[in-house]
Amino acid sequence: MQKKKSSIGWRNENKHPSLSEVFSSVSVPKQKGIWKKLFAFTGPGLLIAVGYMDPGNWATDIAGGAQFGYMLLSVIFISNFFAIILQHLALKLGIVCERDLAQACRDHYPPLISFILWILCEISIAACDLAEIIGSVLALKLLFGIPITWGVLITAIDVLIILFFQYKGFRYIESVVAALIFTILVCFSFEIISSKPEIFPILKGIVPNPEIIKNSHSFYISIGILGATVMPHNLYLHSSIIQTRDYPRTTEGKKMAIKYATIDSTLSLSLAFFINAAILIISAATFHKAGYTEVADIMDAHKLLNPILGSSLSGVFFALALLASGQNSTLTGTLAGQIVMEGFINIKFKPWIRRLITRLIAIVPAMIVSIVYGEKGTTELLIISQIILSIQLSFAIVPLVNFTGDSEKMGPFVNGPILKISAWGITIIIVLLNLFLLYNTLLGRR
């Protein structure tokens, strides 16, 4: 019996659309207006960009700026370039194969391998949720003086807010994320203006400096920045939410969708680059310049901003950006959890049940650590969550690069020679650096 065209190259035929309740729900204009089509495809990239500016990235950016000034800006730039390539592959997989990455793994690998990948992915999503909780908790303490323990409990309530917007429609979720990103952008724009950074050192910092490799400590922080850049759940997320667009499921329609989705993704990740670079620039222009080179903690950074910049608003905007970052990541983490569970094991839970399970898994360790160790413990927990994400990253990137490089699966959309070599090169670099970071972290080396 001949297989249907949609199942060519796969072990199983995919019968269920990703995120079925919002699949193909956002209309794409049929006319040839470039701007109208671009607007229709704008949104998924913003949800993805959130993962590149979550609370887990803040510590490495702050430490890099405080200790080495603007030198590590080049690392953020290279990391962002890697992210743009990998997210392009993720959206292409979703559009061409009409599968998200989780469904693709289920339809390609044997059941046991697929099950193991699912478990690893669930652990990484819980770790990501843990980082979001800690970021939000620290922000609540900084803004309103709410104790860490109470802050952990308050973060459980955000499930109701998320569900409200999820039932309203996918465009509502994208609008909320866009508003929170705009909040972060405004906050850091204020901080940059207040810190008065030097333009020429910034431009010089974007160019890779051999000193980064020669200095073992700067190399370690660079690995931390690069290793934590690509969030594994983002690859699953992007390959799914791009299918919310109602584009023609034809060769020409898919070609058009890839074009506009890539523009959306690239522009959104460029915005994420600005925000990540802004964190490092502010840290360099304030802490490094003032001689506070040992600052590597979010709470310490907040305490020092006001006296150094001489403005009481500096700390407020810093904390507000942190809160927006944590809440934004919560939204995308919820969607990723739903996509992964439905994709890998084809089990559907009601959104509030799925959200409650994920949040409870993350809240328990956060609550225990906050009670026993307080602020210092939550900061260490934030670092641990990033290590867990680093471990899982390889198990998301390798299948993605493999699938999009398979001509049987992708047909005329298969990765070309240059893209294929670039993708595998990026994969090898990220995997090796994450392993190196994990090895040194476990041994307590910095």
pLDDT digits (tens, 9 = 90+) for 20-52: 878 888 889 887 788 899 999 999 999 898 878
Burial 147-178 (b: 16+ CB within 10 A, else e): ebeebbeebbebbeebeebbeeebeebbebbb
Q: Rg for the chain (alpha carbons), in Å?
A: 21
What's 215's DSSP letter?
Answer: S
Question: Could you give the count of Cα atoms lying within 13 Å of 281 in the half-sphere of its Cβ?
Answer: 28
Output the pLDDT for position 6. 45
Contact yes or no for 298/138 (Cβ under 8 A) = yes
The chain-wide mean pLDDT, for the chain, equals 82
Predicted local confidence at residue 44, as pLDDT: 93
* Third-level CATH fold of 22-442: Amino acid/polyamine transporter I (1.20.1740)
pLDDT at 227: 61
* Residues facing 26 on adjacent strands: 245
What's the predicted TM-score (pTM) here?
0.88
Q: What is the mean pLDDT of residues 187-193?
A: 87
What is the average per-residue pLDDT within 403-417?
Answer: 95
* pLDDT value for 1: 38
Range from 107-116, 358-367, 429-438 that averages highest in pLDDT? 107-116
DSSP bridge pairs for 246: 27
Most confident of 221-230, 237-246, 317-326: 237-246
Q: pLDDT at position 442, please? A: 67
- Pairing status of strand 26-27 against strand 245-246: parallel
More confident residue, 193 or 168: 193
**Would you say residue 303 has pLDDT above 80?**
no
User: What is the pLDDT confidence band of residue 363, given thresholds at 50, 70 and 90?
Assistant: low
Interatomic CA distance for residues 334 and 354, integer angstroms: 8
Distance CA 169, CA 174 (A): 9
Q: Which residues neighbour 117 within 8 Å (Cβ) at sequence distance 6 or greater?
A: 105, 109, 344, 395, 399
Q: At what angle do helices 158-168 and 312-345 cross, to 10 degrees?
A: 60
pLDDT of 424 over the 90 cut: yes
What are the b/e assignments for 185-219, b being 16+ CB within 10 Å? bebbebbbebbebeeeebeebeebbeebeebeebb
The mean per-residue pLDDT over the stretch 81-98 comes to 95
The amino acid that residue 66 corresponds to is A
Confidence of residue 4 (pLDDT cuts 50, 70, 90): very low
DSSP 241-258: HGGGEE--SSHHHHHHHH
Hey, what amino acid is at 303? K
pLDDT band at 77 (very low <50, low <70, confident <90, very high): very high
Per-domain boundaries in the chain = 22-442
Q: Is the pLDDT of residue 270 over 90?
A: yes
pLDDT given for residue 86 in this prediction: 95
| Largest interatomic CA distance in the chain | 75
Q: Which residues contact 374 (CB under 8 A, 6 or more apart)?
A: 148
Query: For residues 383 and 38, what is the distance between their CA atoms, to the nearest angstrom?
Result: 37
Is residue 375 over pLDDT 70? no
User: How far apart (Å, rounded) are the C-alpha atoms in residues 267 and 279?
Assistant: 19
5 has pLDDT over 60: no
Q: Which residues contact 359 (CB under 8 A, 6 or more apart)?
A: 129, 133, 155, 156, 159
Between 239 and 150, the more confident residue is 239
Q: According to the model, what pLDDT value does residue 2 have?
A: 40
pLDDT exceeds 80 at position 158: no
Asked whether residue 126 carries a pLDDT value surpassing 80, the answer given is: no
Any residues with CB less than 8 A from the CB of 106 and at least 6 apart, and which? 12, 114, 343, 344, 345, 346
Q: Which class for 23: exposed (0-12), middle (13-18), buried (19 or more C-beta within 10 A)?
A: middle
Distance CA 378, CA 56 (A): 12
Least confident of 26-40, 145-159, 330-344: 145-159
**pLDDT given for residue 361 in this prediction:** 66
**Per-residue pLDDT at 293:** 78
